[in-house]
Chain A
């Protein structure tokens, strides 16, 4: 089922001679359980695409639909979409578990349940050992796992992650990609950006973005049609 759909989305920054078209008539769809990676060079618009897809930024023209609902760009976090930026900044000196409890609490989850959710999310993202650490003590991979855990604590059906492998040690990078792959396999739709082709590994679809144009398979790949008749007679 199509969970996210961008329909002829355009986005531009600046005015007149300084205008830069970042997204040009971009359309694509994302299903539940799919991992889609968008590759692009610097200033290709890949971060803008993700912010628009997450409903944080409104397109100038076109529309974004999430679970059949039109997003207005006002930020829909906590309503099924988890958005992860490269750097997760919390309260000064706060410990990881406390930071992760904040969002569920803000969404009306009881304190004990919010704490359980935060712990479960840390465990799911392979960062349970970070629970009592301070945010500024985390390395690149730990920071990304905690960022993903923070999004998971709100039980999203769509995860949007801007450059999940950026700033992550080479040796840890595949662990992050495996985590994203496994989340998609559990049914979460995952949309990521990648500045390097290494970030495309394991994706169901790899797209490229340049000059505001999105290329690649913009629609989910259909499962092969299997003849029931032939199966039954086999």
Chain B
């Protein structure tokens, strides 16, 4: 299963059993602009895909308080395989991140040194912009109890640490390409 929407949805079902419409709302609240739904129907498609793989299951209807007037809302809960699969997928992201970084480095290396330096310059600008935009955790922010506050703080800190590592890498890459450019101009 490759769709990040499906895995993100599985995470929400693991957090607590839920039904379609509520999941659409929780999805938008939790992932904000980090992962966007093109339409609410994506959630229903993803629920089907997760159920087919036995990662989630329909929970028995709550007979204690039936509401004859309303259409039943099927609630989904995660299976043990779903919880294990979600954890494995999270860990696999580390490899995916690493693959992307290595691909970027290799794609940069095929450029002529001066062109690569120009890309590095723009990449650095983008990183600096991202760094300054990362919000400071305000008092309200830190007192925000529950998973959404924690998720925001974790995401902010991850952003800041990642951009710091990128800025350090940019310095290293700049020196390498400058050395290469100087060597080439000496050869001429």
Residue ranges of A at the interface with B (Cβ–Cβ < 8 Å)? 37, 39, 41, 174, 177-178, 181, 196-198, 200-208, 210, 215-216
Excluding A41-B171, A216-B125, 9 further A-B contacts by CB distance (< 8 Å) are A178-B139, A181-B136, A200-B131, A200-B132, A200-B134, A201-B135, A206-B132, A207-B128, A210-B171
Residue ranges of B at the interface with A (Cβ–Cβ < 8 Å)? 121, 124-125, 127-129, 131-132, 134-139, 142, 156-157, 160-161, 163-164, 167-168, 171, 174
B171 contacts A197, C-beta separation under 8 Å: no
A174 contacts B136, C-beta separation under 8 Å: yes
Q: 15 A–B contact pairs at CB < 8 A?
A: A39-B131, A39-B167, A41-B168, A41-B171, A174-B136, A174-B142, A181-B136, A197-B163, A201-B160, A202-B136, A204-B132, A206-B128, A215-B121, A215-B125, A216-B125
Candidate in B124, B127, B131, B168 with the most chain A CB atoms within 10 angstroms: B131
Complex Cα–Cα for A142 and B52 (A): 56
Main secondary structure of the interface of B (DSSP, over half): helix
A216 contacts B128, C-beta separation under 8 Å: yes
A202 contacts B132, C-beta separation under 8 Å: yes
B137 contacts A198, C-beta separation under 8 Å: no
Query: Looking at the complex, which one of A41, A201, A208, A210 makes contact with B136 (CB distance below 8 Å)?
Result: A201
**B163: nearest chain-A partner, CB-CB:** A197
**B168: nearest chain-A partner, CB-CB:** A41
B135 contacts A198, C-beta separation under 8 Å: no
Complex Cα–Cα for A23 and B156 (A): 32
A208 contacts B164, C-beta separation under 8 Å: no
A210 contacts B174, C-beta separation under 8 Å: yes
Complex Cα–Cα for A16 and B64 (A): 88
A178 contacts B138, C-beta separation under 8 Å: yes
Contacts of B156 in A (CB 8 A): 201
Contacts of A207 in B (CB 8 A): 128
Known A-B contacts A41-B171, A208-B167; the reply to A200 vs B135 at CB < 8 A is no
A174 contacts B131, C-beta separation under 8 Å: no
Complex Cα–Cα for A230 and B5 (A): 43
